[in-house]
Amino acid sequence: MNNPFETEVLTQIGEWFINLSHYELKEARKTKSQVDQYMCLGTVSKKVRCYYDLVNFKHQILNEEISFRPDLQRSIEMKQDVLELTDKTLTYLYYFMQAIVASNTEDYFEALQSLRKAENYMKHVNAYERAEFFFRKAFVYYRLDQNISALHNVDRSYELIKVSGCHDKLKANLNILKSGIYSEAGDHASANAYAEQGILHANHEPLTKAMAIRSKANNEFRFKNFEKAAELYEWSLRTGDQRMRTVGVKTSFNLAYALLKLGKYEKGKQLLDEVEKSLIDQPEGLLEYVSRSLIARELYVSDKPSHQAIEKALKLLQRKNLRFELKEVTKELSDYYIHHKDYVTAHHYLSWSFETNVNEINIGGKV
């Protein structure tokens, strides 16, 4: 690049990217301010603009400046621009961003494909950036119910940051993920221990701390400790100003469901109503909770559960390939009908769960 101005801008963007990879967020904000000033001084090439947009996307995610509903149209517009360029770091960033976009809209197969494309260019980024990559890959495998592959990638990520003093937020996220994996495996004690580690690592990151508390609550809920789960969900909602965010909608649903399970129907129904209003306003990336709220309403609020409404909810999970969630929900439905001595319906939903297990495909591939 012969243009001295563009060389300087690109150098500053590179420093900004390194700040973010090192989780030096205070420095990243300062560098971004300098880059923004440069960007206002003159016209830059397509390559520099693409670098700026992709690094800025990463900046917004790490600084929690945007909701988990990125600009999909901007992502589509950038695709051709990136394909016309040959810079390998830029290509890595593009596919990595595409994976995050797909994850946030619950399209985990598409996310995995984008991560595999990004991996072809991963040698062009530093070790800390690779740690972030392995965390994202672990999360996608976890959502696809491929927990062995997920755990392997969690460990790969942790190895790259274990001695870093700047990556507490990423360490917290890795512990939150391990908590979920061990909880689903039936190990209540380990799941709680990893959630506690997540809370400790996130002590200076309120939103991440709220997610770690929620992880511990989910574990208690899974083991039918509904009173304890409700207390933890309430603590999570009081932490990190999350009520207006996607994670706040999820936690509010979790709390509503725990209250309904405890027989606190008036309070649970009121909160469920609020959650459903939020789901109407922002369903993108929340179809799992649209499904779960439909089922909760049929089982605990409606006079008589509608099998048609329940089947509609299950098909939403099926459509998103949320295998574990489908197994968990159908098992819960079966238990509900066994409790009410409706063994035919219980068997019907247990069959859904069984078919999900039989049809499960291992897509872990290379871990």
Whether 89 and 123 have beta carbons less than 8 Å apart is answered as no
> What confidence tens digit (pLDDT) does each residue in 100-140 have?
888 888 889 999 999 999 999 998 888 999 999 999 999 99
Q: What's the pTM?
A: 0.84
pLDDT interval class at 233 (50, 70, 90)? very high
C-alpha count within 13 angstroms, C-beta hemisphere, residue 296: 27
Contacts of 77 (CB under 8 A, 6+ apart): none
Whether 145 and 353 have beta carbons less than 8 Å apart is answered as no
> What confidence tens digit (pLDDT) does each residue in 32-76 have?
998 888 888 777 787 788 888 888 888 888 877 654 444 444 444
Query: Rounded to an integer, what distance in angstroms lies between the CA atom of residue 42 and that of residue 37?
Result: 10
Whether 324 and 332 have beta carbons less than 8 Å apart is answered as no
What b/e sequence results for 273-295 when a residue is b if at least 16 CB atoms lie within 10 Å of its CB, and e otherwise? eebbebbeeeeebbbbbbbbbbb
> What confidence tens digit (pLDDT) does each residue in 157-187 have?
999 999 998 999 999 999 999 999 999 999 9
**What pLDDT is recorded for position 255?**
98
Query: Rounded to an integer, what distance in angstroms lies between the CA atom of residue 179 and that of residue 216?
Result: 8
Whether 234 and 243 have beta carbons less than 8 Å apart is answered as no
